[in-house]
Structure 1
Amino acid sequence: MTFTHTLADPRIRTALDRMFGLAERDDAIAATLPAGYASMSAHEKADAAAAIHMPISAAGGVLLYNLIRATRPTTVVEFGMSFGISTLHLAAALRDNGAGRVFTTELSTEKIAAARGTFAETGVDDLITVLEGDALDTLAALDAPADFVLLDGWKDLCLPVLRLLEPRLRPGTLVVADDIDQSSMQPYLDYVRDPGNGYESVSFPVEDGMEISCRL
């Protein structure tokens, strides 16, 4: 079977349709989270939310694919893989560009196992390195520049992760943050929208909003 680009590969489409379908249960599952969830550590939250997909939107995924195709990064860094919906979009774009690798982070061992199975089934596992554990630790050890960054993990950690990666950001690097309508994203937004911090930033109206910031 032929297809025009990797996002049209039936294996990718089947996996995305399945995961987006399962993600429709997220609100119901989230309603069963234990009391005190908001004050848990990142590891405790990851374990408690192991069944929640927390995906980007379908439109957000296509936006990421297009941005990667246009900017042609060599190294894509993703904070917050979850079940790998966004990762599939990133890897599909790299496949169609003919080069590049995704380094993605995740705490939940259950999600890592499921995502690795999906990556293998869809034929993009050779493009993806999963960094297991706390992103502030695993990304600190990353020995590569960050040519494109997606921030979609715990919202209070988006700014610390960005600051950690900044020494690896070349001029022109795009940094995309998802779910910018959440109040916990405000410190991050204040930072990237301040010209003194070295970014030109614009909000993009997909679902819960994305912030696209160019490193100057």
Structure 2
Amino acid sequence: MRHQNNVLRDPKVEAVLERLHHTADRQALKLFLHYLPQLPRLFLGQGIHWNPDRTHFYRDKYIPIEREQGQLLYLLARAINAQTIVEFGSSYGVSTLYLATAIRDNGQGKVIGTEIVPEKVIQARQHIVEAGLTEFVDLREGDALKTLQDIDGSIDLVLMDGYPHLALDILRLLHPQIRQGGLVISDNVGTFKTALNSYVEFLRTPSHGYRSATLPLKGGTELSIKAG
């Protein structure tokens, strides 16, 4: 079943996205079985336990943002006229396509994405080419703590969707360059509640300058603005 997308209004991009979302949907059963032993933790509001020593399970998994999250990303990036967007955890490029479409429609800029799994980088770059968005994306391969060290200028929007145990370190790295009025959108704060607890606390500590709230999307999407 094709999902109607009245936000992007670009058939070429939408066709690539729908194919990728459909592939991700087909992995849902495998993910459910993987997380099945931890469902009681979710029901108790504790979130799934994140084991940084078992990240190999995720090396061929899409686990992308959902369609509604992607549309929200596009709208937020357009609303603040984002020119520089940083994405931690590009995976196969689903969220990258939403963000790059916003950059294109804003008139100029780049999505600077980073992904540590080489096979995912290859596929993501192909998807970006297929969608016609190559000139709006700088996709970097490797450890995000290294690949995101040399960003020039201020950052308008950050999408945090990589390994949870690295999220706070990445945020601290980018924090000085996130402009006043800039946004940080964080996926899975409810799903990996324990692993992301210190990360969310950082965003909600007044002295750090953010205003932050959890949206009821995909088990918890944190929307934060650097208000100064």
Counterpart contact for 1:29–1:52, Cα < 8 Å: no
Counterpart contact for 2:7–2:71, Cα < 8 Å: no
CA offsets 1:140-177 (integer angstroms, 9 cap, x no match)? 12233211111010112111101001111221111111
Task: State the match for 1:88 in structure 2.
Answer: 97
Task: State the match for 2:178 in structure 1.
Answer: 169
Task: State the match for 2:61 in structure 1.
Answer: 52
Task: State the match for 1:189 in structure 2.
Answer: 200
Looking at structure 2, the residues matched to 55 and 5 of structure 1 have their Cα atoms a distance apart, in angstroms, of 20
CA offsets 1:80-124 (integer angstroms, 9 cap, x no match)? 000111010001111111111100000111111111111111100
Instruction: Read off the aligned partner of 2:212 and give its amino acid letter.
Output: S
2:185 aligned counterpart, secondary structure: strand
Task: Return the match for 1:199 from 197, 210, 216.
Answer: 210
Task: Return the match for 1:102 from 101, 105, 111.
Answer: 111
**Residue 16 in 1 paired to residue 33 in 2?**
no
Looking at structure 1, the residues matched to 69 and 34 of structure 2 have their Cα atoms a distance apart, in angstroms, of 27
Looking at structure 2, the residues matched to 173 and 208 of structure 1 have their Cα atoms a distance apart, in angstroms, of 23
Alpha-carbon distance, 1:38 to partner: 2.5
Counterpart contact for 1:82–1:112, Cα < 8 Å: yes
- Unmatched 5+ stretches in structure 2: 36-49
Instruction: Read off the aligned partner of 1:8 and give its amino acid letter.
Output: R
Instruction: Read off the aligned partner of 1:200 and give its amino acid letter.
Output: R
Looking at structure 1, the residues matched to 106 and 188 of structure 2 have their Cα atoms a distance apart, in angstroms, of 27
Give the root-mean-square deviation of aligned CA atoms.
Answer: 2.1
Counterpart contact for 2:155–2:178, Cα < 8 Å: yes
Counterpart contact for 1:5–1:96, Cα < 8 Å: no
1:8 aligned counterpart, secondary structure: coil
Instruction: Read off the aligned partner of 1:100 and give its amino acid letter.
Output: G
**Residue 111 in 1 paired to residue 112 in 2?**
no
Counterpart contact for 1:6–1:93, Cα < 8 Å: no
When the two structures are superposed, what TM-score results if normalisation uses the length of structure 1? Answer: 0.88
When the two structures are superposed, what TM-score results if normalisation uses the length of structure 2? Answer: 0.84
Task: Return the match for 1:40 from 30, 42, 53.
Answer: 53
Alpha-carbon distance, 1:6 to partner: 8.1
Question: Percent identical across equivalent pairs?
Answer: 38
Counterpart contact for 2:115–2:121, Cα < 8 Å: yes
Alpha-carbon distance, 1:20 to partner: 0.8
Alpha-carbon distance, 1:39 to partner: 4.0
Looking at structure 1, the residues matched to 52 and 188 of structure 2 have their Cα atoms a distance apart, in angstroms, of 20
Looking at structure 1, the residues matched to 153 and 114 of structure 2 have their Cα atoms a distance apart, in angstroms, of 15
- Unmatched 5+ stretches in structure 1: none
Counterpart contact for 1:6–1:92, Cα < 8 Å: no
Q: How many residue pairs are counted as aligned between the two chains?
A: 206
Task: Return the match for 1:71 from 77, 80, 87.
Answer: 80
